[in-house]
Amino acid sequence: MDESEITAKNDRKNRECCPVCLGKNFVPERKIRDHIDHSLFSVVHCHDCSVRFIVDPPSLGTIQNYYTNDAGIRMHKQGSGIHHRLRNLLLRDELKPLTKKLEPGSQIVDYGAGDGSVSKFLHDRGFEISAFDMYPQAEWLYPDIEYQQIDLNIPIPLFRIPGNEKITRAVVLRHTLEHLYEPAKILSIFRDTGVNYVLIVVPNYKSIMRPLLGGNWYYWDPPRHLHYFTERSLYCLAERCGYKLLETTTYAVDEVVTSLHRRMLLKNEETQTNLTRAVTRITDPKSPLAAISSVIASFFGNCIIHALLEKYKQT
């Protein structure tokens, strides 16, 4: 363990208010572990907006240390062929509520662009895309799409010409909001910079599978995931930041195979066997097995929330 990792372990913050509604009406719910380094975190339940959040996250200055591992790298690497094809099918449905609101040529920021699938999909349909994420430009896969490496927790101007009301501006936060240290602060900045629409895709705390999977639930993923949203908490977040929640839906991808993966990684080094190592490999979140499980889950599950926000005209 190098010095920066030791600092990260010891440098925790204690949140004094809810990062979504600023309320102080929250109570302890459970403890969960990081499946990479086994650090323990406390989840609390905000009774005002219903979000769950990690009350003792690493400080803003050290949280990046929790991304310098396989979990961080996986966020911007493409998965297996089958995974990639399913992703593109899913994207068509996920992005449609947004794209049908926009004229061709509208400016869209892919905030937390990951493997670039969203950017590529929207770019191919004639939108003007800017992608932002934490990893270096050299790892971005699409040279014809503008990409900028930034700290997503530190807002920067998103658009080149601020305040041009003739151009509709939108931001896609696909599996990003749950990673942001201060989600309400970032969303308020979007509002102030003329972002008309925000498309949000986050894990659903109300997933029917979560209680069955307990502490192994893949989407706990602390401290990379800092907040666990419900549809109600997204409504509260939107209202607080000057946005109207136009629509929400839930749907499912795999959470069983990936939760088994997390369970294997949570085992202590001493109890690792050849079998657990083999299971860890085949249950990788971007494995074909996880992709097949996603297809099955799509018939009954609800582990993902999809929400479209529109800026109130006068805020």
In whole angstroms, give the CA distance from residue 145 to residue 134.
Answer: 16
Instruction: Output 111 or 228, the one with its CB closest to Zn ion.
Output: 228
CA atoms within 13 A on the CB side of 167: 17
Q: Which is nearer to Zn ion, 19 or 58 (CB)?
A: 19
Residue 241 found at the interface with Zn ion (CB under 5 A) = no
Q: Which stretch binds Zn ion (CB under 5 A): 41-49, 63-71, 146-154, 192-200?
A: 41-49
Give the integer Cα–Cα distance in Å for 51 and 85. Answer: 32
Scanning 10-18, 156-164, 190-198, 251-259 for contacts with Zn ion by CB under 5 A, the matching segment is 10-18
Query: In the complex with Zn ion, which residue's Cβ is closer, 66 or 235?
Result: 235
Among residues 20, 213, 304, 307, the one that binds Zn ion under rule CB under 5 A: 20
Query: Which among 153, 299, 298, 302 is positioned nearest to 231, based on CA atoms?
Result: 302
Q: Does 239 bind Zn ion (CB under 5 A)?
A: no
Question: Shortest approach of Zn ion to residue 17 CB, angstroms?
Answer: 8
Residue 35 near residue 262 (C-beta atoms within 8 A): yes
Q: Which is nearer to Zn ion, 46 or 95 (CB)?
A: 46
Tokens 């993966």 locate to 261
Q: Minimal distance in Å, beta carbon 34 to Zn ion?
A: 23
Binding part of the chain for Zn ion, among 46-54, 113-121, 173-181, 183-191 by CB under 5 A, reads: 46-54
Backbone angles phi, psi at 222, to 5 degrees: -75, 155
Nearer to Zn ion, 24 or 277 (CB): 24
Task: Give the interface segment with Zn ion, choosing from 48-56, 222-230, 250-258, 290-298 (CB under 5 A).
Answer: 48-56
Min separation Cβ 304 and Zn ion, Å: 21
Distance CA 266, CA 16 (A): 29
33: DSSP letter = E
The dihedral of CA 90, 118, 314, 184: what is its sign? positive
- If the CB atoms of residues 24 and 92 are measured against Zn ion, the closer one turns out to be 24
DSSP string, 244-265: EEEEEEEE----HHHHHHHHHH
Should residue 48 be labelled a site residue for Zn ion when binding is judged by CB under 5 A? yes
DSSP 3-state percent helix, strand, coil across the chain (nearest 5): 35, 20, 45
Give the rounded distance of the alpha carbon of 286 from its chain centre: 16
Which span (23-31, 83-91, 118-126, 199-207) binds Zn ion, by CB under 5 A?
23-31
Q: Does 202 bind Zn ion (CB under 5 A)?
A: no
The correct pick among 36, 43, 49, 113 for binding Zn ion (CB under 5 A) is 49
Binding span for Zn ion by CB under 5 A among 15-23, 64-72, 107-115, 249-257: 15-23
Which CB, 18 or 75, lies closer to Zn ion?
A: 18
Count of C-beta atoms within a 10 Å radius of residue 193: 17
Contacts with Zn ion by CB under 5 A: the residue count is: 7
Does residue 43 contact residue 55 with C-beta atoms inside 8 Å? yes
Q: Contact between 23 and Zn ion (CB under 5 A)?
A: yes
46 lines the binding site for Zn ion (CB under 5 A): yes
The one among 8, 21, 131, 184 contacting Zn ion by CB under 5 A: 21
Pairwise CA distance, residues 247 & 161, whole Å:
29
Q: What minimum distance in Å lies between the beta carbon of 25 and Zn ion?
A: 7
Region for residue 11 given its phi and psi (left: phi exceeds 0; alpha: psi -120 to 50; beta: otherwise): beta
Residues in the chain: 315
Residues at the interface with Zn ion (CB under 5 A): 18, 20-21, 23, 46, 48-49
